[in-house]
Chain A
Amino acid sequence: MNVENFSIDLDTTYVLRTVEERGVRFVRLWFVDVMGTLKSFSVPSSELEQALAEGVSIDGSSLEGTVRLRERDMIARPDPRTFQLLPWSRTPPVGRMFCDIRSPDGIPFPGDSRHALRAAVARASELGYTFQVGCELEFFLFAEATEDGEIPRPLDRGAYFDLTPRDEGSDFRRQTIEHLEQMGIPVKASHHEVGPSQHEIQLQYHDAQSMADAVSTFRLVVKEVAHEQGIYATFMPKPLENESGSGMHLHLSLFEGESNAFYGGYGEPLSSIGQQFLAGVLTHARELTVVTNPWVNSYKRLGGGFEAPSHADWTRHGREALVRVPSARPGRPSAARIEVRSPDPSCNPYLALALLLAAGLRGIERGYELPPEAEDQAPVGAPRLPEDLREATALFAESELAHETLGERLCEWYVANAQREWCDYQRTVTEFERRRYLPIL
């Protein structure tokens, strides 16, 4: 049998024709480093065909975060199915595509976070599951970018679900949602959050890869709209001491074909598959925390009250547990899911989702038992989440699950970045110390 292909791929043609028809002059090519930071470079439209066919050579050390060890040439391959026009670019419009990073001989580069997630999703698929993710992102809006270290000024003093003239952020939310929808990221809901000038936008469920790309895009859109409106948006986990921090709650479920594998029937919180998945997430929560909560500041939110979780526990009705299991609604089996509440919106969404998925699958494969539910407080024996970045990093460095899921290279880079962050923090003499100790010592 002999199969020939007479023409190039349809999705590539689609991009090239659209660029031509819409008069696009530049296309931004995006990829992420080990910490999830979005990186971008531009190619003129005249070079696009070649970039799509052969990829573009980049310095691979740009994936390593702030700890850059060595230069190496890598190839960025744009993914034509992620092509979008940036809605805030006027005329001529600017396009963007996400890239996969390959080594010069064409194999996926093990330092590419997008590849790590794709591998985890492929594993789930081998077991017959598709992984669906919904996402709630919180962030703060401040008057404008502040000087180093100055306390930022919130735009309003509104509160949870407030609809008042004080909610100057509602204009902002409307514009943001419009941009997101145009970029194919449907929004489920948005509202004013608990803190002053704190907002939440919920994204509709999606497959994990699309959701991680959506989170990367979301963060840029929010920053972009804030910039347009002369304000400052931040995903810093805990910008204000006496207010809520910002979280990124992830709603996770597995599907087998068209049916939700977590659905346990009306009145049951979860199927046995769902319970084992949840047990996997709880069992491995401590070793994964440095990825869902990557910065020194993340730990001022975790365990700092305001409903942020502090232990690896779960609940149906409580407010502070690591995982909430929403009650199954009659007639809505597809909505059965677990809500992981620890991640913050500054994390690398690719690695976080890859690890949560791997932890859950391990729970299924090894038949983990679900521990008792938390009522008002964490049940006796529920392990405490790491209390600072150093502890979290040490747990991750020892994690067999993390090494198996992400591979040596990503783990090594991640640990190096986290250790460097902790080291810089440790060397800093803080405002707290001066205020507390200068007068008395």
Chain B
Amino acid sequence: MSDAWIYACEPRLGETLGGQLCELGYRTLAQSIDAAPTVERLVASRTPGLVVVTSGIDAARTSELCTAVRALDGLSDVPLLCAVEETALGSGELTGDGDELLVAPWTLGELRLRIGRASRRFGLADHPEAEIVRVRGLEINLATYQVTIDGRPVDFTFMEYELLRFLVTHPNRVFAREALLNRVWGYDYYGGTRTVDVHVRRVRAKLGAEHAARLHTVRSVGYRFER
């Protein structure tokens, strides 16, 4: 389960989305944006798994907001949905290349589908459609937070679980320690990047040899999970 951030110009769309995303299993954080065109990272610690921009009827404004959000630290490769009223479709380019458009009114099913499409563009399996992630005998149930290996439960601490979940749902990509610290632990943590090494070691020990071998150390870069 991951965070979804909502940048809402249009409070009504924002509220609808907040409720629906909760239903889909996201933890949602919303920021309402007034007339001023500035956006900031939300104070929340972790980098989100999804960003939604809602901007009602103004097409130019929507496009501007999406660009601004993309430019924020750590948000360049997060799936982005752009939710608008139908009247905004009249003119101009609405979304960037990697972004998914959502036109009101939409159903929960459509929302789930759009998130799936946006996520796949970034090579992610981390959308609510996939509640259970399997890599051979290793199974992570994202809804119940339980991990099993060949059907046997394995006990992780919360941070071990979060690290494993993140790497397994972002497979075949190298993450620097600093990036993992920001995305998994959050910005307010001051245990230092060595904490990442400690947790990787612990996760490997619990995974056992076969699965531990998938969690690669990439020398002087960071870590990668191979699927």
A-side residues, CB < 8 A to B, are: 1-7, 10-11, 13-15, 17-18, 21-22, 80-85, 121-122, 125, 130, 132, 181-182, 184, 186, 204-207, 209-210, 255, 257-258, 334
Q: Which residues of A contact B206 (CB under 8 A)?
A: 181-182
Check B29–A4 contact: CB distance below 8 A. Answer: yes
Check B157–A83 contact: CB distance below 8 A. Answer: yes
Interface size class of B (residues with CB under 8 A): 35 or more
Taking the complex as formed, is B177 at the interface, i.e. its CB lies under 8 A from any CB of chain A? yes
Taking the complex as formed, is B210 at the interface, i.e. its CB lies under 8 A from any CB of chain A? no
Taking the complex as formed, is B120 at the interface, i.e. its CB lies under 8 A from any CB of chain A? no
Check B198–A3 contact: CB distance below 8 A. Answer: no
Provide the bound-state CA to CA distance between A184 and B153, in Å: 15
Instruction: Tell me which residues from 1 to 59 in chain B have a Cβ below 8 Å from any Cβ of chain A.
Output: 1, 18-19, 22, 27-32, 40, 42-44
- Set B43, B178, B191, B193: member contacting A3, Cβ < 8 A: B43
Check B157–A21 contact: CB distance below 8 A. Answer: no
Indicate with 1 or 0, residue by residue over B139-169, a CB within 8 angstroms of chain A CB atoms: 0000011100000010101111110000000
Check A130–B29 contact: CB distance below 8 A. Answer: no
Check A206–B29 contact: CB distance below 8 A. Answer: no
Indicate with 1 or 0, residue by residue over B169-200, a CB within 8 angstroms of chain A CB atoms: 00000000110000000000011111100100
Check B160–A6 contact: CB distance below 8 A. Answer: no
Known: A84-B155, A255-B192, A258-B177. A204 touches B160 (CB 8 A): no
Check A22–B153 contact: CB distance below 8 A. Answer: yes
Check B30–A3 contact: CB distance below 8 A. Answer: yes
Q: Which residues of B contact A82 (CB under 8 A)?
A: 157
Provide the bound-state CA to CA distance between A141 and B158, in Å: 34
Check B157–A184 contact: CB distance below 8 A. Answer: yes
Provide the bound-state CA to CA distance between A106 and B153, in Å: 36
Check A258–B157 contact: CB distance below 8 A. Answer: no
Q: Which residues of A contact B192 (CB under 8 A)?
A: 130, 132, 207, 255, 257
Known: A18-B145, A258-B177. A83 touches B158 (CB 8 A): yes
Check A81–B193 contact: CB distance below 8 A. Answer: no
Chain A residue nearest to B192 (CB atoms) is A130
Taking the complex as formed, is B121 at the interface, i.e. its CB lies under 8 A from any CB of chain A? no
A-B contact pairs, 29 of them (CB 8 A): A3-B29, A3-B30, A6-B27, A6-B30, A7-B27, A7-B28, A10-B27, A14-B158, A14-B161, A15-B158, A17-B146, A18-B145, A18-B146, A21-B144, A22-B155, A83-B158, A84-B155, A132-B192, A132-B194, A181-B206, A186-B198, A186-B202, A205-B194, A207-B194, A207-B198, A210-B198, A257-B192, A258-B178, A334-B194
A419 to chain B, nearest CB (A): 36
Q: Is the interface of B mostly helix, strand, loop or mixed?
A: mixed
- Set A2, A7, A130, A258: member contacting B31, Cβ < 8 A: A2
Chain A residue nearest to B25 (CB atoms) is A7
Chain B residue nearest to A254 (CB atoms) is B192
Number of A-B residue pairs with CB-CB distance less than 8 Å in the complex they form: 102
Check B157–A5 contact: CB distance below 8 A. Answer: no
Provide the bound-state CA to CA distance between A258 and B155, in Å: 29
Check B159–A81 contact: CB distance below 8 A. Answer: yes
Taking the complex as formed, is B72 at the interface, i.e. its CB lies under 8 A from any CB of chain A? no
Taking the complex as formed, is B113 at the interface, i.e. its CB lies under 8 A from any CB of chain A? no
Taking the complex as formed, is B61 at the interface, i.e. its CB lies under 8 A from any CB of chain A? no
Provide the bound-state CA to CA distance between A182 and B206, in Å: 7
A131 to chain B, nearest CB (A): 9
Taking the complex as formed, is B227 at the interface, i.e. its CB lies under 8 A from any CB of chain A? no
Provide the bound-state CA to CA distance between A130 and B28, in Å: 31
- Set B22, B32, B201: member contacting A6, Cβ < 8 A: B22
Provide the bound-state CA to CA distance between A82 and B160, in Å: 11
Assuming A4-B29, A22-B155, A207-B194, what are 18 further A-B pairs, CB within 8 angstroms? A1-B31, A2-B31, A6-B29, A7-B22, A7-B28, A10-B158, A11-B158, A14-B161, A21-B146, A122-B190, A130-B190, A132-B192, A132-B194, A181-B206, A186-B198, A204-B201, A205-B194, A258-B177
Chain B residue nearest to A122 (CB atoms) is B190
Check B194–A255 contact: CB distance below 8 A. Answer: yes
B-side residues, CB < 8 A to A, are: 1, 18-19, 22, 27-32, 40, 42-44, 144-146, 153, 155, 157-162, 177-178, 190-195, 198, 201-202, 205-206
Q: Which residues of B contact A132 (CB under 8 A)?
A: 192, 194
Most buried by B among A13, A17, A184, A257: A184
Q: Which residues of A contact B44 (CB under 8 A)?
A: 3
Check A182–B155 contact: CB distance below 8 A. Answer: yes
- Set B1, B31, B160: member contacting A10, Cβ < 8 A: B1
Provide the bound-state CA to CA distance between A343 and B93, in Å: 68
Q: Which residues of B contact A21 (CB under 8 A)?
A: 144-146
Q: Which residues of B contact A206 (CB under 8 A)?
A: 198
A226 to chain B, nearest CB (A): 23
B140 to chain A, nearest CB (A): 13
Q: Which residues of A contact B43 (CB under 8 A)?
A: 3
Provide the bound-state CA to CA distance between A121 and B193, in Å: 15
Q: Which residues of B contact A122 (CB under 8 A)?
A: 190
B63 to chain A, nearest CB (A): 21
Q: Which residues of A contact B198 (CB under 8 A)?
A: 186, 204-207, 210
Q: Which residues of A contact B40 (CB under 8 A)?
A: 1
Check A3–B42 contact: CB distance below 8 A. Answer: yes
Provide the bound-state CA to CA distance between A17 and B177, in Å: 28
Provide the bound-state CA to CA distance between A319 and B202, in Å: 33
Provide the bound-state CA to CA distance between A352 and B21, in Å: 47
Report the 8 A-B pairs with minimum CB-CB distance, sorted nearest first: A130-B192, A125-B190, A207-B191, A6-B28, A14-B158, A11-B158, A85-B155, A2-B32
Provide the bound-state CA to CA distance between A132 and B27, in Å: 33
Check B18–A6 contact: CB distance below 8 A. Answer: yes
Q: Which residues of A contact B202 (CB under 8 A)?
A: 184, 186
